[in-house]
Amino acid sequence: MNTVSQRDTASALLFVLLLVSTVFAGCSEPVQQTPAVATVSITYPQAEQYITARRIHVRGTASNTGEVVVNGVRATVTGGAWDVLVEFPEGPATAQALAGEAVSKVSFFVDSAPPKIVIESPQRGLVRGDEQSRELIVRGQVTDVGSGLLLLKIDEQLVELDADGRFEHSYTLEVGLNELTITAIDKAGHQARTRRGVIYGPLIDPSERINSAFGITVSAAGFELVTGVIKSLLKPEQILEYVQQTLSSELVSVTAVAFDPIDVQISPKQDHLAIALKITNLRVDGDIRFDNESHATFFGISELEAHLDVRVSATPQGGIKIEVIASELVLDESSIHSDLTDDSAFLRGLVVMVAEKAFSEYIGTLLIEELYDPAILRRKIELLGRSLEFQLFVESVRTTALGMHIMASVEMPSQKYPAVADVAGALNRPVGAGSPASVDGELKVATSRTTIGRIAHGVWRSGLLHQSLEGDDFAGTTLPMSLTADGLATVLDARIRAYADGETPAAMVFRPLLPPVVEFDPAATNSSGIELRIAEFLIDVDLLHPDKARETLLTLALFLDLDVEIAIEGSDVRLSFEVAARAEIADEPLLDFDDERVTSLIEALIEIVPAFFATNLLVTAEAQLAWITLRNPTLDIHGVEGDRVTAGIEAVASGQ
């Protein structure tokens, strides 16, 4: 009994103590909670880093805060990270991020401008003859107001600079077009680049004749085409017309001619062409006068052969002379029949006279008047409504059993387009030793890198490449759209609108300082292997103010590589191009343009321009040979030095 009572008493006391402690706890002062401390850290840019833009996305992390302030600009913290765009001055800079009492600082260097390169020598558009030194002194100065210059190189060769950034470097020129690329890189990684084009090598007066410019070979098989043409022209009606026009005898007149289709064979021989005609069932009707009376009559020949030797030679004036040097009629008197007389001598004389007119003389006239036109030697290159005319001169004609070979020279016009720069001369590289060409065709035309280069120089010198786009007028052609100040502002720089009203016409003036240089690539598989390289092709972009002189916004310098493709239409040659372009701003007198934006746009534009030029560029002749069509040219670049090219051309009769 006592034991239970003691246990109950202890439990009651414990309950009271717990109750009292709870009451007193509720009446005590509250416990103070320590607030979480904010932190902030900048992760970009990093300390001592070179930054290439003035407006920078400063990034970092933060905790225990919803906002940070970076150089006075507020940024929201999301998921423990923040990002804010801040503009810094050029040069040494510090980014400071604040989050409450927390501070993070990073010092770095802002360098938003590339180095500046000034080339004092050589000037743009230099042509140097090989009588001068191959060593070209490249002189200039490089400056960088930001992080400082890291290096300067010409092509891939490092160039030393003095304390003021000046340099002088000796560059060894190669024969042909030398494209020098001068590159400066600063410590922030900015690159500045400029180029210079220099033509070096043996030079010649551009108006001097290009001797042995083209070798033209007609194979023995090619004369089968001429055979077909002669067959098509040796019709009774043509023979009748010719005999009536040329037969001067007062005793005989011809009123009708008939014969079976003629068999013609043309064979090239040593120094001449042998032409053999076989005529069967010839009948000639006409009138003959004797005893002061006209008598209708006829004569017939069962079979007649005519053999002619024709010589083709060069004239002193550079043309082609075609002449019959020997002819023979072969006929058996027994094959002659007539209602006229039994006097065989008289009849034979009459037959021979008419047959010579009908076949021997007519063939010579046919070859001269129908198959050849001297105007075919006068060629012209047409581009955008303008043309350059030049003359081919036949130097020699050589005939062998294998065919006929014609060697021709070319003479370009002596007059220069006024806007074309004066240069020391036209590049005239000696042609290397030859090697056989692996092309087939009834017609083969062989030439050289030097000849094509000289013609390209003539095209440049004539001003065909000097064109202009002014408003909606491109070289005399009205375009469906107009070039205006507003258009330039949209694609180049909005600040252009400060210099002209939006509708002010604008212009692009194309003025290549250097002529194209031709190179051959014998290893080319996806192109003809003929390449035109053009350096220092300047384009002035002007504003055409209505109330004051035109104003140049900028001048671009283009360096172009054009792969040439050749197509033949009849006896005309059409050229098309694939182009790779490199552009730079050569001058910007009004605004400091974004070089990369401008040059990228121009390079993209220039690479689609050749498609337009290809539809407007044609090499044609003053006269066409209506009886022949040339097609499917195949090219082979050959020669010991890979500087010769031969085109094998399929020749077919027109209409086939």
Every domain of the chain and the residues it spans? 39-110, 116-201, 221-369, 377-387+413-653
Residue 628: its pLDDT value, please? 67
List, in sequence order, every beta strand (DSSP E) within 315-442: 320-330, 336-338, 378-383, 386-400, 403-411, 426-427
Residue 77, number of CB atoms within 10 A of its CB: 20
Q: Tell which residue, 615, 384, 401, 389, has the closest CA to residue 477.
A: 384
For residue 368, pLDDT over 70 is answered with no
What six digits make up the tokens of 427?
A: 């590049």
What six digits make up the tokens of 620?
A: 């044609």
What six digits make up the tokens of 495?
A: 């600040």
For residue 369, pLDDT over 90 is answered with no
**Cβ burial, residue 561 (10 Å; 0-12/13-18/19+):** middle
For residue 656, pLDDT over 60 is answered with no
Cα–Cα dist 452/567, whole Å: 16
CATH 2.60.40.10 holds for 39-110 = yes
Residue 570: its pLDDT value, please? 62
Residue 441 · residue 225 · CB < 8 Å: no
Residue type, 394: V
Cα–Cα dist 626/361, whole Å: 22
Residue 21, number of CB atoms within 10 A of its CB: 10
Work out the pLDDT band at 626, boundaries 50, 70, 90.
low
Work out the pLDDT band at 15, boundaries 50, 70, 90.
very low
Q: 124-175: per-residue pLDDT in tens? A: 999 999 999 999 999 999 999 888 899 999 999 999 999 999 999 999 999 9
Please give the average per-residue pLDDT across 540-558, as a whole number: 95
Strand 50-51 to strand 102-110: parallel, antiparallel, or no bridges (unpaired)? parallel
What six digits make up the tokens of 584?
A: 């730079």
Residue 639 · residue 435 · CB < 8 Å: yes
| Superfamily (CATH H level) for 116-201 | Immunoglobulins (2.60.40.10)
* Range of 16-25, 276-285, 365-374, 546-555 with top mean pLDDT: 546-555
For residue 655, pLDDT over 60 is answered with no
C-alpha pair distances (Å), 551 with each of 269, 354, 483, 511: 68, 78, 15, 17
Q: Under 8 Å CB-to-CB from 27, ≥6 apart: which residues?
A: none
C-alpha pair distances (Å), 354 with each of 17, 240, 256, 300, 348: 159, 10, 12, 11, 10
Decide which of 8 and 602 is more confident.
602
What six digits make up the tokens of 4?
A: 């239970």
Burial 327-341 (b: 16+ CB within 10 A, else e): bebebeeeebebebe
Lookup result for tokens 């050289």: 448
Cis-peptide into 122, omega within 30 deg: yes
Q: Name residue 551's beta-bridge partners.
A: 543
Residue 612: its pLDDT value, please? 57
Residue 629 · residue 443 · CB < 8 Å: no
Dihedral angle computed from the Cα positions of residues 20, 21, 27 and 30, in that order, rounded to the nearest 10 degrees: -170
Cα–Cα dist 108/52, whole Å: 11
By residue count, the chain amounts to 656
Work out the pLDDT band at 616, boundaries 50, 70, 90.
low
Decide which of 486 and 628 is more confident.
486
For residue 55, pLDDT over 50 is answered with yes
Q: Name residue 398's beta-bridge partners.
A: 405
Query: What single DSSP character describes residue 233?
Result: H
Q: 249-297: per-residue pLDDT in tens? A: 777 788 898 999 989 999 999 999 999 999 999 888 888 877 677 888 8
Residue 243: its pLDDT value, please? 82
Query: Which pTM value belongs to this model?
Result: 0.81
Q: 572-607: per-residue pLDDT in tens? A: 677 778 888 999 999 999 999 989 899 988 888 776
Cα–Cα dist 535/33, whole Å: 77
For residue 476, pLDDT over 80 is answered with no
Residue 142 · residue 165 · CB < 8 Å: yes
Distance of CA 300 to the CA centre of its chain: 63
Please give the average per-residue pLDDT across 110-127, as a whole number: 94
Q: Regarding the domain delimited by 377-387+413-653, which CATH topology (the fold level of the hierarchy) does it fall under?
A: Bactericidal permeability-increasing protein; domain 2 (3.15.20)
Please give the average per-residue pLDDT across 305-329, as a whole number: 89
For residue 357, pLDDT over 70 is answered with yes
One DSSP character per residue, 559-584 reads: EEEEEEEEEEEBTEEEEEEEEEEEEE
Decide which of 90 and 181 is more confident.
181
Please give the average per-residue pLDDT across 228-240, as a whole number: 82
Cα–Cα dist 602/598, whole Å: 6
Residue 391: its pLDDT value, please? 87
Cα–Cα dist 541/487, whole Å: 12
Work out the pLDDT band at 622, boundaries 50, 70, 90.
very low
Q: 400-457: per-residue pLDDT in tens? A: 999 999 999 999 888 899 999 999 999 999 999 999 999 988 889 999 999 999 999 9
Q: Tell which residue, 578, 549, 557, has the closest CA to residue 566.
A: 578
Residue type, 320: I
What's the CATH architecture for 221-369? Super Roll (3.15)
On the question of a common fold for 221-369 and 377-387+413-653, the answer reads: no
Residue 577: its pLDDT value, please? 81
Please give the average per-residue pLDDT across 109-122, as a whole number: 93
Q: Under 8 Å CB-to-CB from 79, ≥6 apart: which residues?
A: none
Lowest mean pLDDT among 459-473, 506-520, 601-615: 601-615
Phi and psi at 618, nearest 5°, equal -140, 135
Alpha helices in 500-646 (DSSP H): 595-606, 609-614
